[in-house]
Amino acid sequence: MSSGPPANLVTTEQSKAEAEPVSRDSAKTAFWESAKILKQYKPRISLAMLGALISAGCFGAGLGMLLPVFDLLLASKKSLADVIQEHLMDPSGPVWLQDIGQRLLDIVPTDPFTGFTWVMVVIIVLTIIGSMGRFLHEALAISVALHASMVYRGRMFRRLVTASFATTLQHNTSDNISRLLVDTRNMANGYRVLLGRATEAVLKGIFCIAIAIAVNPIMTLVALVGMPILIVMFRKFGKRIRRATHAALQQQGKMVGRVSESLGAINVVKVHNAEGSERRRFWRVNRSVYDEEMKVRQIHAFASPVVDTFSLVSIALVMILAAWAIYNRGQNPAEFMTILALLLGAGDSLKPLSNLYNEIQESGSAAVRVLDVLNREVETEASQASQASESSKLSRSSSSQSSQPAKSLVHLPRHQRDVVFENVTVNYPNSDKPAVEQVNLSITHGQAIALVGPNGSGKTTLLSTLPRLLMPTSGRVLIDGIDIANVGLRPLREQIGMVTQQSILFEGTIADNIAYGRRHESRERIVAAARAAYADEFVATLPKGYDTVLGENGAGLSGGQKQRLCIARAILRDPAILILDEATSQIDSDSESKITTALHEIRHGRTMLVIAHRLSTVIDSDLIVVMEDGHIIDQGKHDDLLSRCATYRSLVNTQLIAGEPENT
Q: For residue range 305-316, list pLDDT tens digits in order.
A: 666 676 667 667
Q: Say how far apart CA 242 and CA 235 lie, in whole Å.
A: 10
Lowest mean pLDDT among 66-80, 98-112, 430-444: 66-80
Residue 555: how many CB atoms within 10 A of its CB?
9
Going along the chain from its start, the domains and CATH numbers come out as 24-374 (1.20.1560.10), 409-495+575-664 (3.40.50.300), 500-574 (3.40.50.300)
Length of the chain, in residues: 664
Q: Say how far apart CA 529 and CA 565 lie, in whole Å.
A: 9
Confidence of residue 406 (pLDDT cuts 50, 70, 90): very low
Specify the pLDDT at position 72.
64
Q: Who wins on pLDDT, 264 or 186?
A: 186
Q: Say how far apart CA 102 and CA 107 lie, in whole Å.
A: 9
Report which DSSP code applies to 378. Answer: B
Residue 91: how many CB atoms within 10 A of its CB?
6
* Alpha carbon of residue 581 to chain centroid: 31
Report which DSSP code applies to 400. Answer: P
Specify the pLDDT at position 200.
79
Confidence of residue 43 (pLDDT cuts 50, 70, 90): very high
Specify the pLDDT at position 518.
82
Specify the pLDDT at position 30.
84
Q: Say how far apart CA 337 and CA 219 lie, in whole Å.
A: 12
Q: Who wins on pLDDT, 105 or 442?
A: 442
Lowest mean pLDDT among 162-176, 426-440, 587-601: 587-601
Residue 605: how many CB atoms within 10 A of its CB?
10
Helix pair 353-374, 24-34: axis angle to 10 deg:
80
Q: Who wins on pLDDT, 5 or 176?
A: 176
Amino acid at 491: P
CB 332 within 8 A of CB 288: no
Specify the pLDDT at position 350.
63
- By three-state DSSP, how is residue 163 classified? strand
Nearest to 31 by CA among 231, 190, 151: 190
pLDDT tens-digit map of 197-245: 778 778 887 887 787 777 777 777 766 666 666 666 666 666 666 667 7
Lowest mean pLDDT among 273-287, 413-427, 502-516: 273-287
Of 85-99, 124-138, 205-219, the range with the highest mean pLDDT is 124-138
Specify the pLDDT at position 455.
84
Q: Say how far apart CA 635 and CA 640 lie, in whole Å.
A: 9
Q: Say how far apart CA 221 and CA 232 lie, in whole Å.
A: 19
Specify the pLDDT at position 15.
42
Confidence of residue 11 (pLDDT cuts 50, 70, 90): very low
Specify the DSSP element, H or E, that contains 280: helix 275-329
Confidence of residue 106 (pLDDT cuts 50, 70, 90): confident
Specify the pLDDT at position 18.
44
Specify the pLDDT at position 414.
92
Specify the pLDDT at position 656.
64
Confidence of residue 478 (pLDDT cuts 50, 70, 90): very high
Tell me what the pLDDT averaged over the chain comes to.
Answer: 77
- By three-state DSSP, how is residue 152 classified? helix
pLDDT tens-digit map of 419-468: 999 999 999 877 788 999 999 999 999 999 999 988 888 998 999 999 99
Specify the pLDDT at position 403.
43
Q: Say how far apart CA 131 and CA 49 lie, in whole Å.
A: 14
Specify the pLDDT at position 476.
93
Specify the pLDDT at position 199.
81
Model confidence at 22: pLDDT above 60: no
Q: Say how far apart CA 546 and CA 523 lie, in whole Å.
A: 9
Of all residues in the chain, the percent with pLDDT exceeding 70 is 72
- The angle subtended at Cα 534 by Cα 531 and Cα 540, nearest 5°, is 70
Torsion over CA of 356, 357, 360 and 364, rounded to 10 degrees? Answer: -160
Q: What does 61-91 look like in DSSP terms, one character per residue?
A: HHHHTHHHHHHHHHSTT--HHHHHHHHH--T
Instruction: List beta partners, residue 634.
Output: 626
Q: Say how far apart CA 326 and CA 321 lie, in whole Å.
A: 9
Pairing between β-strand 623-628 and β-strand 631-636 as defined by DSSP bridges = antiparallel
Report which DSSP code applies to 575. Answer: -
CB 348 within 8 A of CB 217: no
Q: Say how far apart CA 638 and CA 644 lie, in whole Å.
A: 10
Of 358-362, 444-448, 453-457, 586-590, the range with the highest mean pLDDT is 444-448
Confidence of residue 164 (pLDDT cuts 50, 70, 90): confident
Specify the pLDDT at position 355.
61
Nearest to 102 by CA among 85, 86, 118, 119: 85
